[in-house]
Amino acid sequence: MLSFLKNLMGKTPTTKEVREQVQEESILSASDTEQSHQEAQEQKETSAGVVTALSLHPSWEAQLSTQEKYALSFMAQELEPLLEGNISLAGIALVPHDEGIEVTAFIRNSSDRPIRLKEMTLVVLFGDQQLFTRQVFDLSEIGEIPPRSARPWSFVFTREHFLQANVLLANWKIAFEMAQKKMVLPQQLELEESWIKALSDKQKNSLIELAKNLPALKEGEVNIQSVQIRRSPEGALHVMLLIRNGSKQSLSFEKLPLALYDATGAKVAEGLFELGNLTVNANTSKPWLFIYPPESILVEQPDLSRWKVSVPQQA
């Protein structure tokens, strides 16, 4: 579980070595209020920051040796001081796991009161702030985190939640999703596991770039973006769409009526698609393939130089 501690055993690491091992921190206000950039800067200028001491959950206390506890205590106190009144997530190790990846991080509390966290969504980013995975965790299992302390914890992100495959997880970061919304584009691409396996890296990257570069949605807005269309040898129209969810809640679709229009505005095809409870998480975009069979096509030779798909008004 804590193989990274071997690098600290048998020697006294320097502050520089400890801080180089710790990834960029994700920070929330302990009062759940957002500071403006100016307020944060003013606080930074007037506060020297809080040094957090190690706090171990009873389950960790029972498993770790005295030497391992010392190493973790040293790491906790050598972290960058944290501005008062904040909660942060500081990743210290990412390793393969039988079910996916395991990320170990310090949950730091720089306030003057103990805190208890609830269910929250965590994300893992890599490279240039690209989203690798997102998953909901019950953080109440971590227990009460005392004032001015840092508690280590391990999170297993399972493969079914991976959004990309065969990537180098360099320059990675674990973060609270709500804190990350201020740092990355609100629309992140989410892929079903079957799509991860079926698409090439080039196709995945193209979809990721498309999702990132589309105009931002208004809060609560949900729309459908046309991506690609092609006709099969059998005469069916295969339409790839990007379902974009700008709301704060996950959306599930069991059935979706969609009409296809060509460059002239003529309705080319219409159908009711069974999606089997397709879920699009909050602030994400998910691609999906819709197939109009030949019998649903209304125009024999449509002008598909430009096209769009929308939900029929009567629906």
What are the pLDDT digits (tens) for 186-201?
457 888 878 887 888 7
Nearest alpha carbon to residue 131 among 181, 92, 84, 74: 181
pLDDT at 18 over 80: no
pLDDT at residue 216 in the model: 74
CATH of domain 193-310: 2.60.40
Question: Tens of pLDDT along 251-297?
Answer: 899 999 999 999 999 999 999 999 988 888 888 889 999 999 999 99
Among residues 142, 78, 136, the alpha carbon closest in space to that of 104 is found at: 142
> pLDDT at residue 204 above 70?
yes
Give the pLDDT of residue 30: 63
Domain residue ranges in the chain:
3-184, 193-310
* Mean pLDDT over each residue of the chain, to the nearest integer: 81
**Which range among 4-8, 166-170, 252-256 has the greatest average pLDDT?**
252-256
Q: What mean pLDDT is predicted for residues 66-83?
A: 89
| Of the listed ranges 26-30, 114-118, 232-236, 282-286, the one predicted with least confidence | 26-30
Residue 285: CA count within 13 A, CB half-sphere: 27
